[in-house]
Amino acid sequence: MTSKRADQRAPTLEQVAEQAGVSRSTVSRVINGVATVDPELRQVVQQAIEATGYVPNLAARSLVTRRTDSVALVVSEADDRDTADPFLNRIFTDPFLGRITAGALEVLRPEGIHLVIMPAEWTAQNHVVRYLRQGHVDGVLLISSHTADPLPRQLCDLNIPAVLSARPGQPLPMSYVDVEQQVGAKLAAEHLLGIGRHRLGTVSGPLDMPSAQDRLNGFRAALAVHGYPYVPSAVGDFTRGSGENATRELLAAHPDIDGLFVANDLMAEGALQALRDLGRRVPEDVAVVGFDDSVAALQCRPQLTTVHQPLEEMAAEMARLLLARISQPEARARSVIFHPRLIRRGSA
């Protein structure tokens, strides 16, 4: 009598090899992702794996390949500046992270690679670095914006494969993906001028971030070309509340502003609230343009005219660059820059 345990024994590597008509070593090479395996042979083995129901032993495989089949999405941020809006609340409610995650998964999931999301406030970065150094992941997709952030340099020094979500604040031999920030700001400036607005102001992001600097400089440079030597500005921190406060500050000092460029959509949503509270109609009294083209732009009333950056495509490219870096650690770092475009809606 055959035991139930024997009947349910898991398929073996040998059974896969017999099904495919190849050697056990060939099956092992396919499972371990060896690049030199003939594509047609690889397909035959994969069909045999599906037919037999074989499940690779990932622990044993990782000993051979030294791979974990997982990467970390690390969100690095300065310590909380506003205790009313703590770091974890910000990153998990900001539409930016959701779009980055979705874009990365489009590339990673078909490769069987897991994504681990890791918040990393600067005071807690030692714990994150320790985790990464211990080899729990194969590489890092790093969201880091502040020039003073020490994490990008640490990852370079430790030779941990990593790709940045934007141009680094300091020159580093690390791949990154970005959008033409100044071009996007120029699109906003030219649109506001094109609809007849001539008393323009802007709410920038934190000026220790290259993206915020580029958007502010691009807006000012575009207006200078058209004869506007001075652009009033106030500084926010890319949150909804900071956009509202900065807009109130800006209009208190310059009540005649009739066009406003806000450096991201969340701050623009706050700006619209401030304008409503101050009795200013949008777009009749003040036209507003944001940046990102996130879900926040569609939630605004009126819906927000904004500069679109293709975050999902950018994140997918980050994932491709990281996989290439993991496969070829000695390959040179690369930058990939995407083009923005203006999306016109009801606010301007």
Write out pLDDT tens, residues 12-40.
Answer: 878 888 988 988 888 877 876 666 788 88
Average pLDDT for 73-87? 66
> What average pLDDT does range 42-56 have in this prediction?
84
Q: What is the pLDDT of residues 269-326, one digit of tens each?
A: 999 999 999 999 999 999 999 999 999 999 999 999 999 999 999 999 999 999 999 9
The residues near 217 (Cβ < 8 Å, ≥ 6 apart) are: 182, 185
For residue 162, pLDDT beyond 80? yes
Would you say 264 and 292 are in contact if contact means Cβ atoms under 8 Å apart?
yes
What band does 69 get if pLDDT is binned at 50, 70 and 90?
confident
Contact 182, 221 (CB under 8 A): yes
pTM for this model (two decimals): 0.78
**Taking the CB of residue 35, how many other CB atoms lie within 10 A of it?**
7
**206-227: per-residue pLDDT in tens?**
999 999 999 999 999 999 999 9
Which residues does residue 121 pair with via DSSP β-bridges, in sequence order?
77
Round the average pLDDT of the chain to a whole number and report it: 88
Band of the pLDDT at 160, cuts 50, 70, 90? very high
Per-residue pLDDT, 127: 84
* Superfamily designation of domain 12-46: lambda repressor-like DNA-binding domains (1.10.260.40)
Indicate the pLDDT class of residue 120, thresholds 50, 70 and 90. confident
The domains of the chain are located at 12-46, 70-177+312-337, 181-308
Q: What is the pLDDT of residue 92?
A: 63
Q: Is the pLDDT of residue 6 over 50?
A: no
Q: Do domains 12-46 and 70-177+312-337 have the same CATH topology?
A: no
At residue 83, the pLDDT reads 43
Give the whole-angstrom CA distance, residue 294 versus residue 308: 8
Give the residue-averaged pLDDT of 77-104: 70
Q: Which CATH superfamily is domain 70-177+312-337 in?
A: Response regulator (3.40.50.2300)
Helices marked H in the chain? 4-7, 13-20, 24-31, 39-52, 58-65, 87-93, 95-108, 125-133, 151-157, 181-194, 210-225, 240-253, 265-277, 295-299, 311-327
Is the pLDDT at 254 greater than 60, yes or no? yes
- Percent of all residues in the chain with a pLDDT value above 90, rounded to a whole number: 62
pLDDT band at 80 (very low <50, low <70, confident <90, very high): low
Q: Tell me the angle at which helices 24-31 and 39-52 cross, rounded to the nearest 10 degrees.
A: 90
Match domain 181-308 to its CATH number in 2.60.40.1580, 3.40.50.2300, 3.40.630.40, 3.40.50.720.
3.40.50.2300
User: In this model, does residue 84 exceed pLDDT 70?
Assistant: no
What is d(CA 149, CA 119) in angstroms, rounded to the nearest whole number? 14
Tell me the C-alpha distance between 327 and 185, whole Å. 37
Looking at per-residue pLDDT, the higher value among 18 and 121 belongs to 18
pLDDT at 124 over 80: no
Cα angle at 196 between 193 and 198, to 5 degrees?
A: 65
Could you give the CA distance from residue 178 to residue 243 in angstroms, rounded to a whole number? Answer: 23
Burial 143-176 (b: 16+ CB within 10 A, else e): bbbbeebebbebbeeeebbbbbbbbbbeebebbb
- What pLDDT does residue 310 have? 95
pLDDT band with cut points at 50, 70 and 90 for residue 91: low
CA 190 to chain centre: 27
Residues 6+ apart with CB under 8 A from 329: 159, 161
| Residues forming a β-bridge with 179 | 338
Write the DSSP assignment of 16-33 as a string of letters.
HHHHHTS-HHHHHHHHTT
